[in-house]
Structure 1
């Protein structure tokens, strides 16, 4: 029973939050006259000493003490004696752990935000560097239209920006204090819950004592936000794996972010990217695990909730590490822009430009232009030539407007330069987008 019941091996990570909440609670008890002012001072000094001890030596793990709350209280009793027993006045471990956990998740949101901002910064630097570097844009992993590498990287800046917004929203919603709700019904002591909420940086106390101790929405929101961020990281990791492969050859990874083979000396495997991609599975599972834990719980507290912290801690660790690794890769990988441009020019990637030209300059309905260009591409495939090299006679046989001069102008450079619509891939637009994103990045969570 002791082994399954004890949570101290996991919840010892809450020691800073537990001590901070206890100090706020003790100060409030003293100010409200619920305990003596002298006892409040003694308790605070003892808790400060425990914080110093844990910071220097780590948290001792004694399964008999069960959890971080009793570990702190036990040490406090050793240090200050009888006043330690007054600390838990008007408090339950139910509101205590809910408070500690919210404080921890609040900090976790801020730390993840910093990691997301770092990867955005790295992506923006590379996007600025490659605002005019041409690469193929893909649909169905087939060459579709030429784009700029900077434009492609900016798509991930947008994704991680939405992730930051989700974590900011989660942080805002969780920033209410459960402390003072006691076991579930509140307390008969004249607490000042607003005082402890303010002391701990919360916006306000949770309004309902039952909800205060039973709510784990904030943990679910953290895991949900982490899951979506992990999906974005996994998509980027997948592209790095593909781009690093010999058939693509778009990038070269430095030794710091790749490994060799135990048998094949020529190999440089994108292991870091593959590990980030794999971690996404764990992060997606974290939300599902926590949702299953809480989905059938009656109000208020059940011991099932003891497992919520391991799930959230694991999700945080995996996401923080994945963000750091991916940031390092983005900062140091080498883009082979010559290879990118060559592939962008293949596969008839400027066919849409020809269709647009027929619509714009000759007044053809787009569907007719689409049909004409499709016929041109088919003939070029039959002859084994690029669209720009389609013989004049063959082009004229399809449509009189398709002249050699028009075909020769279908370069990938002209294609990307023409995409000046808002959000488009034209280098000028990309540079504008980089500048705007950098300005937005100065905002804080």
Structure 2
């Protein structure tokens, strides 16, 4: 397989160093490449998924990826793509987050395979022991100030202000590339399009400091992932979509992809799945013919959820989805009910010894008894998938899911979760 051409056909290449030279190098023998991930939180989010999968694609093609966790650069803060200064986190917190990110990366890259095992590295191992005088003399002198100021990541911040701390980030990332070249023979750095200036700065540093003037280094960036509706990719009403299932449940993760706009789904299938381009083309044709079936979206959601959380989590997410949107709530366990309805209004009631009307008011389903009666009489109230239009329904006789839950729906989409304490 021509990896470079496959990446190009999927729309995954935004910028690159000399194409002919890079293609020739990739075709000649396995290359060692790296991508960095700064620990700015205790989990990566789906904004990091594209570069992770790029490393995975290279590994599957026989190359050797290095996942670099920025335990050192995470203490500084990358100005790329930011309009204001980052908050500097304590060293102990950054160390803890770095360890968690290492564990997450191991779910995607194979560090045990015999042929081309991936490498996990932490740049604090070399940045943490640097001596400032030696670093400025030996490394800093290779960075002309005019060139640094002209880099997009710096230039866009000049009007709003940038500290020397973040200004120096470019030098540290360049030093990472140089160290990985020395330690592991790394010849290619990949990253998001906002990293192009840092990548080319690293290539220039290696050129200036190496004794081998014929050494060629390479860089490649991916496009910024955008959504056709103008909403930032990876954001929902509840915030960022995380790779940690404790922060974004597999069900919510699945729903995020399932709700992909028709205009984006084919692009995302190319970006985030390992389906062949022929398979994706067939899904695109089905989308054109029968968009109401949303087969492309269901395939995307299934593929990415399985990739990130595994087959068991995918089956659970599909089960919850089918129960909530296709009926069958009685088949859900307590944990599945809580996961699927974690973001809907909920209420805890001490006793079921109240009227059906009072139940709806106390749970916040309606605002008044009058509205409750009207909704019931109009057939707009559903309890555990069943329509209730009897004002005299005894609440104690309502069947509770898992012995303690009632799922109330008003109209087509307004869900409420009621939990009885006894």
Give the TM-score normalised by structure 1.
Answer: 0.22
More helix by share: 1
Q: Rg larger in 1 or in 2?
A: 1
Q: Relative contact order (C-alpha < 8 Å, sep 6+): which is higher? A: 1
More strand by share: 2
